[in-house]
Structure 1
């Protein structure tokens, strides 16, 4: 049994990697060493999608035994179940993500909806899978979201007023199309409500985010009256998200719902800055890392101060932000496993945070994508890019893995 410990150390590699064999540690060490070489990552980013498309021999085998195995649960739910069971043994929960992206067309959108529902039904049979993750772009045309967002930006008023007006400005065919999008979202959330599974709605690029926010808040208002079913994702690398969190909380009080809020730093920084510069509009991104960290930690503090109306998921690879959350709970004499507080990190990264939080008694999960290799390539490319570009990320992972390998080697010698 884990027990609350206010003095959490993210340096304890024995706890962090207890779930990994010596062979698995060596493979992880090789992979992060490779991702520490930007030229090699850039080469891989160019070659891999082409190799997959051309069905080149051994491509899938190499990917499966390296980056896929590190960051993905499996190609099917059955394969992923083995990983989930392994994590459960260490008191780590799972956020399941059907990781297929970028397939448009009504048939594909309906298939994605059905897959999300299938994942919900499966999660409901597993004690350690409290959440699933979805993307609205999984069942909505990107250009339609873009059009609604552009209309919303040209209008005045609250988010919901701008959203409703923007939808009214759509053509008759587009209104029918958007109605189908809303129905897909409604079906997924209704199934989650029935099966007592949380739905985490991923954040998107800023130029389609407003309709995603509006649709998600409509679902939150519908399903979160008694419990948190639907969660919106707030990217705090945006300079307007702290205020958006506070506005969402005001709506929760006025409309009497529980605000589900997943706090992340963000995933589209380079793309966002490049587009803002190319199209000559103010960048939506924080001016520097310090500003992002400040807003993130303020958002955490705001949520902990309002747990009566907010269920917060601290989805962060930043050690201080996770530690800060536990310190805020300690100050309020609240348990680390408070029912409205959850922590999460990506599968394959920051095991030192996840497993030490679990040992402390925190409710913590791994974000675990699954799907056919060819379909999760976009996700894998982002992980490779992130580990290559985020300052210190790869080095941190490597240092911890090396430390644990040395600890085990010394233990064997002494033994």
Structure 2
């Protein structure tokens, strides 16, 4: 039986954190445990940046250093190398959001291409990624998803978006680098799903290099995956499924209510958990056709995956199974999985401090909205602080 205590090992979870970094993490997670404070802090940060107040240093020394690897890829090197020494892989994410022009989308694609090339041949970087709305206007994804007719200009624009996606997937295929498309809101996700399915059909014939994200707080995702699996078996391609719980719940429910349609989101946290775990089990039971990237900060789901891996007698480092958490969060899961020999990977965001702020604020808000998540994180960090103090006093007694 799987040892249900592996995630409690705080010594290996926070091994790379100095006492100062540990204290900073305790301070930040204490703040994030208070939703009203997060709301006020987010508003204040946006306001300060708008007025060009000198807050960048403060942001850099606190939330940025907790959740980002640095400003450039080079800055991230010590971080990714240090983690890889502990058998923990990385994905570099240039987390600049909210671009609007064709020039910006082309530049974003070039940046993502350079990151695919950067990952090539680097053992510590196991995936590359892109966000569909980072390389094409949100509204065009939405129009295509809703099957609305496009003007001639929009048809040309959509062609350019598809070309960017194909350029990235083609490069990933050529260099044998795994690449995933991040999840988006439901009202533009259909176009992304269709396009990523096309990419899998084209590039996942022999091995799985192209992945699409399934947000399992959507109650239709398991059926979607089963339908995709049928097509894949029939047409001879393989599926890359990145499964996560989901990131836009409040926005999704509010839009459904406002426009008067049934919410695409599961009715409760429990229903989401059931849906995620069912999707996870389905992937792990069909590994000949589906490679799975398990993006979760949930211990129960992680233990379920470990149990299935053990029951099926699979190798711990089976290349078709990856576990992933965000940099700066859930180290107790990532480092302990890596230590046991599973394929574990951290998503390491980077970029200019000011440009990464929207990403950081979303992180802080997501942390606040996941019930119990921040509290668990905080209790483990405090436990490690206590353990170190105990070690220090034992050491000084000996001396």
TM bucket (normalised to shorter chain) is over 0.9
Pick the aligned partner of 2:381 from 377, 380, 401.
401
| Deviation for aligned residue 1:50 | 2.3
Pick the aligned partner of 2:206 from 220, 226, 238.
226
Counterpart Cα distance in 2 of 1:226 and 1:6: 35
Counterpart position of 1:20: 17
**Alpha carbons 1:5, 1:360 under 8 Å: kept:** no
**Alpha carbons 1:233, 1:264 under 8 Å: kept:** yes
Counterpart position of 1:111: 107
**Alpha carbons 2:316, 2:343 under 8 Å: kept:** yes
Counterpart position of 1:37: 34
Counterpart position of 2:304: 324
Q: For the structure 1 residues 149 and 104, does the alpha-carbon distance in structure 2 shift closer, same or farther, using more than 3 Å as the test? A: same
Q: Structure 2: give runs of 5+ residues left out of the alignment.
A: none
**Alpha carbons 1:8, 1:356 under 8 Å: kept:** no
Alignment of 1:380-391 (within 5 A): 380-391=360-371
Q: For the structure 1 residues 6 and 225, does the alpha-carbon distance in structure 2 shift closer, same or farther, using more than 3 Å as the test? A: farther
Counterpart Cα distance in 2 of 1:86 and 1:43: 35
Alignment of 1:350-389 (within 5 A): 350-389=330-369
Matched residue SS, 2:159:
helix
**Alpha carbons 1:6, 1:360 under 8 Å: kept:** no
**Alpha carbons 2:83, 2:89 under 8 Å: kept:** yes
Alignment of 1:12-411 (within 5 A): 12-57=9-54, 59-151=55-147, 169-411=149-391
**Alpha carbons 1:239, 1:284 under 8 Å: kept:** yes
Matched residue SS, 1:10:
helix
Counterpart Cα distance in 1 of 2:47 and 2:173: 41
| Deviation for aligned residue 1:39 | 2.0
RMSD: 1.3
Q: Structure 1: give runs of 5+ residues left out of the alignment.
A: 152-165
Matched residue SS, 1:86:
helix
Counterpart Cα distance in 2 of 1:318 and 1:257: 30
| Deviation for aligned residue 1:95 | 1.4
| Deviation for aligned residue 1:150 | 1.7
Counterpart Cα distance in 2 of 1:374 and 1:217: 35
1:338-385 alpha-carbon deviations (Å, 9 max, x no partner):
110000001111000001111111000001111111211111011110
Q: How many residues align?
A: 395
**Alpha carbons 2:91, 2:346 under 8 Å: kept:** yes
- Aligned pair 1:11/2:13, yes or no? no
Counterpart position of 1:156: none
TM-score (norm 2): 0.97
Counterpart Cα distance in 1 of 2:100 and 2:212: 23
TM-score (norm 1): 0.93
**Alpha carbons 2:2, 2:303 under 8 Å: kept:** no
